Each structure stands twice: as structure tokens, then as C-alpha cells.
Amino acid sequence: MTQRKRKSPEEATPLEVLQQLNLNAAGVDIGAEEIYVCVPADRAEQPARMFPTFTVDLHALADWLAACSIETVAMESTGVYWIPLYEILEERGFKVHLVNARQLKNVPGRKTDVLDCQWIQQLHTYGLLRASFRPDDEVCPLRAVARHRDNLIRCQSAHIQHMQKALHLMNVKLTQVVSDITGVTGLSILRAIVAGERDPHTLARLRNKQCAHGEADIAKALHGNYKAEHVFVLKQALAQYDFYQQQIRECDVEMEAMYARLSSADTDERSSPPPKPRGGKPRKNQPSFDLRTALYRMAGVDLTAIDGIDALTAHAILTEVGTDMTRWPTVKHFTSWLGVSPHNDKSGGRVLRSRTKKTQNRANTALRLAAQSLSRSDSALGAFYRRMRAKHGPEKANTATAHKLARIVYHMLKHRNAYVDPGQNQYEQQCRERAVRNLKRRAASLGLQLVAVPAPAVS
């Protein structure tokens, strides 16, 4: 009967005595129509006050905080209502802490807006609140436009579905002979249909030479019942698609100007990144300017050199996290904030849950999509993904690979080092050597010796 191995006791973490750290602190509870603010009791006759959410009232709130000698303010991130007050308080010189709602859960009992702002002020006074991450002032405007562009793309996709539905109602099987109806061939045919053309062979001659199907197949698919109401719906959906395309192009112009205004990092007097081998089809909805060069000038390193990360993925990461990695003391803090590291829930000496925490972080989504694209890559990261997938399954392999990508991004941005892919063969050789070392160590612990057998000669 084997004895159960005794667990070593965990070392206790020294806890500091609870003391007031932020003596000039205020707490703010934000709503759509009213904002409740609490200051220390000795600063005003009425320490908790309510202010409307109009701009003039927000400035009056800031004046009142200044009159109460407040230096730091904590507020809950409620929707988007916090943004105007946050920006005004920052402009007035207050140190603002934007706090996750999970850290502000009050004890059970009565709950009012006044009690909430008092609770926030009390927690902030004792230094028990941790400020959420917010990029630098230079990156925040770029992030806002990038998020707006993503929303436009999502809205545009709905109208693509409307066009597909109109084609199905007319029994026009264009989607079976064209992989993308918003490509060159698809849009040319749709515009001709809306303009009044009905002859299938005339429409088929609009086919781009790179289209996989020939004119005969396309002409056969374009025989349909072109009823007026369905063509009208198609016309409306196409017009809405064109409108969003114009909006996206305007976003690209604005983002290009924003990238040009950003302070360039130290790029060793190089104005463009090193050339990258061409290969594969470009992603849909690529910006209309040289995004890769703009990212290189901003970050000082070429993140697209990492396998699985293209310009759009690097753009999504940098607009969310910025380039200042000193905001995270170590790479573990960075991966934990991204939500790609285990989130342990331990009780009674047992780990109850270790899954990654749920997050809506857009950088997390970008890294996970990049990890999925490595399934057939012949790089070291591709070999790592396939090894993790064979060992733990696709879900955990995706998380593990996203974690590895996050670590690479962190070190590249922090130390300004270029990424060099060691290659699939070298990675597999390192895995084999590590496995052999582990086998030798295991054999030695059992009093055995591992002997390598030479490979048979090939005749």
C-alpha cells in the first residue's frame, strides 16, 4: 500500500496592517442621469453630494472636489458614462482610478447610490482598489477609432447577409459559383443586376479572370426569378454596403493621420520594417494604407515577424495595450491581464478551478485568432500548437499558444528585440532532447540506465 505524499505547507504571505493610504480620496458612483460623490467627512458639511450628468455639472463637480482638497478619485467603470467625467477630472489634474466592478461588491444589505459612493471612497482611502489599465493619451484616440472601425465592419456584414438572402429569394445561385459576393466578380454582377441587366450570359462575362468557375457555370447560376421587390431589397442592401465601405475608408484616412502623429520609437533610423516574404491571400477589410510600416514606426519592432500575427492582428494588440510594457511589472502580470494564463481558485488545499478568466479583452481575441491560424504552420509556433493539441485538445492548445504569443509580444515591446523563428525542426529536436533527459532522470531514480539504440542502417 503506497503512502500518500504529504504536501508541504504553503508559506504565509505577510499582510500589512490596514491603514489609510489615500487621505485625500473621493469615491464616485456613476449613473446615466445622476452622479453621487463622497469625500472625507471632515472636508465638507455634506460629504456626499449628487450632481447631474450635464457637462456644466461635471465641471461643478470638479470644482467641488478641488475645494475639498481632493487629490485622487475612484470610480466604477459603468458602461460609457464614466468617460466624460474621467476626461474632465484628468484634465483638472486629479489622479483618477477606474475600477472594475468586481472589486466593489458591497456587503449584503441595503444598497443605495449614496452608500455605494461612500463604500468606494472608503475602499480607496485604505488603498484596497486597483486601477484598471488604460493606454497612454496618444494611444487612446487611436483605440477609439480602431474599435469604431471594427463596429462598422460588423454592421457591414449584416448587409452582406441581406444581399445573400435577396439572391436566394430570386433563386440566383451566385454564392455557389463565387466564394465571396463582395469580391471583384460578385460586386460587378450585383451592380449590373441592380442596374437592370438580366441576361445570364452578359452577367457572366463580368467574371474576373481569377475566378475558379467558368462563364458557363456562372451563367447557369444566374438564371433566376428577378421579381421587382427582391431586386429592390438587393439594391437597398448594396447601397448600405457601399455606405459602410465609404465610412471604413474614412476611418482608414483618420487612422493613418493618427499613426503619423504618434511619436516614433527608436527604430535605428529605419523608416520601414524589414521585408517579409509574400504568401497567402491578404485578409479581408485590410486598411487602405501601409499599416505594417505605421506599426513598425510606432512600436520599434516588427510584430508581424511572429508567425500567425499579421498587420491587422498587430494593430488590434497595439491599440489595446500600447507600447509601454512598464505598466506590467513582469510578463506574468501581462498574460494574467490578457486572460491567457490560469486563474486558480484554491480552497482546502485543492485547486477547484484553473480555467482562464472570462474577458472581453480585444487583444485576447486577436491572440487567440492568431493561435488558431498556426495549425498548419511549419514554424516552431506551429509545431508547439500541434503538440499541445495532440496532448490536451484544441481548446487548451489555443490558450497555450495564445499565452506563448503574448509572452513573445511582451518581450519584443519591452526589450525592442526582433523575433527570429527557430523553425519546426529545431523545436522538435529540443522536445526530443528534453524527453530523453526526463527519461534518463526517471531511469536513474529507479536504479536503471537508459541506453540509446543506434538507428538501423538504410540499405
187's CB contacts (< 8 A; 6+ apart) are 181
Residue-wise pLDDT tens digits, 90-111: 999 999 999 987 777 765 566 7
For 441, the enclosing helix (H) or strand (E) is: helix 424-445
Between CA 388 and CA 393 the distance in angstroms is 7
Confidence of residue 423 (pLDDT cuts 50, 70, 90): confident
Average pLDDT over residues 41-68: 93
Question: pLDDT at position 8, please?
Answer: 56
CA-to-CA separations, 202 to 115, 188, 190, 208, in angstroms, rounded: 72, 11, 12, 13
Q: Above 70 in pLDDT, residue 277?
A: no
Average pLDDT over residues 247-265: 87
Q: Above 50 in pLDDT, residue 1?
A: no
Mean pLDDT (the chain, rounded): 87
Average pLDDT over residues 294-305: 92
Cα-flanking dihedrals φ and ψ of residue 37, to 5°?
Answer: -125, 140
Question: pLDDT at position 25, please?
Answer: 93
Confidence of residue 404 (pLDDT cuts 50, 70, 90): very high
Between CA 416 and CA 23 the distance in angstroms is 40
Q: Which residues pair with 74 in a beta bridge?
A: 27, 97
Between CA 419 and CA 425 the distance in angstroms is 17
Residue-wise pLDDT tens digits, 217-231: 999 999 999 999 999
Q: Above 60 in pLDDT, residue 5?
A: no
Question: pLDDT at position 266, please?
Answer: 47
Cell numbers standing for residue 379? 514554424
Of 299 and 14, the one with more pLDDT: 299
Residue-wise pLDDT tens digits, 341-372: 888 777 777 777 778 888 888 999 999 999 99
